[in-house]
Amino acid sequence: MATPAWSVLPDEWKAFLKERGLRPFRADQILQSLYRDYITDWDQATTLPKDFRETLKVEFPIIPAEEVACDTAPDGTKKLLLKMSDGELVETVIIPVFGKNADGGKETVRLTQCISTQIGCAMGCAFCASGSKGIVRSMRSDEIVAEVMAARKYGTLTNLVVMGMGEPFANYDETMRALKLINAGRGPNLGARHITLSTCGVVPGFERLASEGLQFELSVSLHAPNDELRNDLMPVNRKWPMAELLAACREYTLKTKRIITFEYTVIKGVNDSRACAEELARRVKEVPMAKVNLIPLSPVDHRPAFTTPPASTMLMFLDVLMKNRVQTMIRRSRGKESQAACGQLRLRSLPSKTI
């Protein structure tokens, strides 16, 4: 059975070479070819002997994702549509943050990529388009790495968020392998603290992540301050209710000493009352070192009744949380014009074959 090259960790390349009686420095050559020279065909790895390249072609094929569309929003956000080797389509978003350079010109100071971990999503959150048509399949680690490799021609990434299609904790092993590959010093080498995973609250994932001993950032999509409302918005809450979720968050922060960021998408008339804000403040305080990101809803086609709250509601929420000494920020949604904002990744430009 062939193993995709982009799924092999640096130590595994070393083990493979050892097993075949090959010299260990070949691992460096392989990793440089893959992640510094960005080869997409082993024949481009000219530092390797020809017969070894033939072995690699057969045993460790490089399987790039094909870019089939790139949509740029006026704010510079790009949505790439990628075709996997079996024809399935995946979306990834690249979000630049601009600043001024010394001459007063425009300069990209941060480049964040938002990646998908599944094709579709099984979680079925009411306000999210990604889950509105269910799940096709989970992605392999090399397919997740392929998203990052496909985006590199648009600039050097500074941050990665696992907030595209899919639930990372429902595809834990492949997602974690992909993040370790992306984080590897001799791989793409993106620092762990620049990588954020977001979960809707698949509780077993918290303990697993804590035991990895890695420095990834963790976000939790909360979106409601009590079970009654959360059950309505997020079916996952019926399996792992808030008390269990918050206990898992608490354990995670105590064990890792790392902050958890709660995401709260504010939906007009649904979860936007002062009472909701007060209750949210009380609940998140059950978790030491918690932060809250408030996000105005991005409207989605399948739920026209869900609308974006006015700025005054966002500010009321911010005020209530701050008065309760909860660290809070309002996040603006980027890429709306190219249907690339939170919860909009649903392959809407595509034939309905996929999901």
Q: Return residues touching ligand SAH (CB under 6 A).
A: 123, 125, 127-128, 163, 167, 198-200, 221, 223, 263, 265, 295, 297-298, 300, 342-343
Taking alpha carbons only, the member of 265, 308, 339, 296 closest to residue 93 is: 339
Task: Answer yes or no: 249 catalytic.
Answer: no
For residue 68, list its beta bridge partners: none
Rounded to a whole number of angstroms, the distance between the first and last alpha carbons of the chain is 29
Kindly tell me which of 27 and 290 has the beta carbon lying closer to ligand SAH: 290
Q: Which residue number has the CB closest to ligand SAH?
A: 343
Instruction: Quote the least distance from Cβ 90 to ligand SAH, whole Å.
Output: 13
3-state helix, strand, coil in the chain (%, to 5): 35, 20, 40
Burial (CB count within 10 angstroms: exposed 0-12, middle 13-18, buried 19+), residue 4: middle
Task: Answer yes or no: 91 catalytic.
Answer: yes
Backbone torsions φ then ψ of 112, nearest 5 degrees: -105, 135
Question: Residue 339: left if φ>0, alpha if ψ -120 to 50, beta else—which one?
Answer: left
Name residue 347's amino acid. Answer: L
Active site residue: 128, 200, 276, 342, which one?
Answer: 342
For the chain, how big is the Rg over CA atoms in Å? Answer: 21
Kindly tell me which of 183 and 221 has the beta carbon lying closer to ligand SAH: 221
Kindly tell me which of 186 and 268 has the beta carbon lying closer to ligand SAH: 268
Active site residue: 91, 143, 174, 263, which one?
Answer: 91
Given a contact cutoff of 8 angstroms between Cβ atoms, the answer to whether 116 and 82 are in contact is: no
Q: What is the 3-state secondary structure (H, E, C) of 276-289?
A: HHHHHHHHHCCCCC
CB atoms under 10 Å from CB of 342, counted, come to 27
What are the residue numbers of the active site? 91, 342
